[in-house]
A and B are shown apart, each in its own frame.
Chain A
Amino acid sequence: MSLKFNPITYQSHKLPSFALPPMANLRSPKFFMASTLRSGYKEVDNPKKPFMPPREVHVQVTHSMPPQKIEIFKSLEDWAENNILTYLKPVEKCWQPHDFLPDPASDGFYEQVKELRERAKEIPDDYFVVLVGDMITEEALPTYQTMLNTLDGVLDETGASLTSWAIWTRAWTAEENRHGDLLNKYLYLSGRVDMRQIEKTVQYLIGSGMDPRTENNPYLGFIYTSFQERATFISHGNTARHAKELGDIKLAQICGNIASDEKRHETAYTKIVEKLFEIDPDGTVLAFADMMRKKISMPAHLMYDGRDDNLFDNFSAVAQKLGVYTARDYADILEFLVNKWRVMEITGLSAEGRKAQDYVCGLAPRIRRLEERAQGRAKQAPKVPFSWIFDREVQL
């Protein structure tokens, strides 16, 4: 869905001048899904500017946290050292991609590769589309490290800063880095996918970046990452389960290990936000409502392969159809966080805070209701080609 409009003046003959998102698609649960969670539109390649990747066109707000709150994070450094860094795994204890791939240094390498490819042949195209989309998301890691380093009070000032926050961010990045590497090598060896198209998509995506609307604000940032880590945990957990059902135990292990990393990261980020709720309940509940109103946009929503203007929407539709990541998951994650952070129990809030509390606590049921409606009315969807699988078609 790419509406052409002038991003400078935000004028459109179809929309009010402050670019509201379109009405939800009542036919599909995409409203809360990945794709429709972006707040603006992407503007795709302008023939006059051949090197412009898709980009965010909503107004980018910066530094919305009042500067005095930066102190909060400075004062939490010791706490973070003792409570957050403990969720990092020492490198010596970590799995590496090598552990789950054919070993080139061994005599059995060719046999192992052959076996991998035979197993991969049994796996259908729609699963590969989702796996590829996940891999591309993981490979855009530079964007996520960047995003963490935009957050006031916790950013890594030099790239080698020794604050707990900086140590966390670098180590987190290092752990995540293995995910993209592993999936990349697996897909490369499988022979089932068009690596060149995938590699191009990764290049476009890193070039596009993303703006999850966290506004340099660590309250917003950590709420966002809490949600995201849980989403990836659920998503990789589902691909693992699917792989097992399809008889590929090794692939199931790959996805399962990635999922367990994500779970550990989710626990760390939610713990940070839990602490923020303790110290500044009003500010944190307002931040939570703000992020949910803006909707949690998926990191790869600007993905583009040079051919498909609706690539992300199409990918999300397949992920939804396969049950890997759905609108219901979105609602479940929200509910999980509301319960985890015991938002309903918070007292002593301002009037705005109470409104935010009501909004957040009441949101999951509303989403579920919408999702049920949409499912009940889902029309037969088309089959679309994906360049990632040599333009073979997948049912949406």
Chain B
Amino acid sequence: MASSTGLSLKFSPLSTSFKQNKVLLRGICNVNSVSLPSRGMRLGSLRLRVSCAAKPETVDKVCSIVRKQLALPKDSPVTGESKFSALGADSLDTVEIVMGLEEEFGISVEEESAQHILTVQDAADLIEKLVEQKSA
């Protein structure tokens, strides 16, 4: 499943407006490290998912729950791309993070979906999908 890699380029950067790129890039929590894209950017270096990408606020909330669970110092980078395992989360941490997300967003995560959550972005996207389904 392509989405499980957290990387899927679904649009041609040359045809996208600069403004849209800026909105998407705000989804990254540690804003200081973001550099704005230019028209000459290489396809391979862009790590955005346009279809079903989560709102920046959602990604932010996920980041803060992750930081709290893993007791990460304020300056350590946590972004949409961050893999839970790379941040030092063991399987117990990951379950507790998902539990925290369920509480925060008032959703219920199925085991099968939970297994595909490898990055912060994965979590945020799933949350938004579930929240949308709940209100539908």
User: Which residues on A are within 8 Å of B, measured CB to CB?
Assistant: 13-14, 16, 18, 20-27, 31, 293, 363, 366-367, 370, 373, 377
Contact = CB atoms under 8 A, between A and B. Distances in A.
Contacts, number: 50
Nearest to A370: B95
Interface residues of B, number: 20
A363 B90 CA distance: 13
B75 interface: no
Contact of B83 (A16, A26, A367): A16
Contact of B99 (A16, A367, A373): A373
A13 B116 CA distance: 11
26 contacts: A13-B1, A14-B115, A16-B83, A16-B118, A18-B85, A20-B85, A22-B91, A22-B115, A23-B114, A24-B111, A24-B114, A25-B111, A26-B95, A26-B98, A26-B99, A26-B114, A27-B111, A31-B91, A293-B90, A363-B92, A366-B92, A366-B96, A367-B92, A370-B95, A370-B99, A373-B99
Nearest to B97: A23
B96 A26 contact: no
Contacts of B48: none
Interface of B: 1, 4, 83, 85, 90-92, 94-96, 98-99, 108-109, 111, 114-118
Nearest to B92: A366
A31 B95 CA distance: 9
B86 to A, nearest CB: 9
A26 B91 contact: no
Contacts of B111: 23-27
Contacts of A363: 92
Contacts of B118: 16
In the complex, the 5 A-B pairs of residues with the closest C-beta atoms, listed nearest first? A24-B95, A23-B114, A25-B111, A23-B115, A21-B91
A370 B85 contact: no
Given A16-B118, A23-B98, A23-B115, 6 more contacts: A23-B111, A23-B117, A25-B111, A27-B111, A366-B96, A367-B92
Contacts of B83: 16
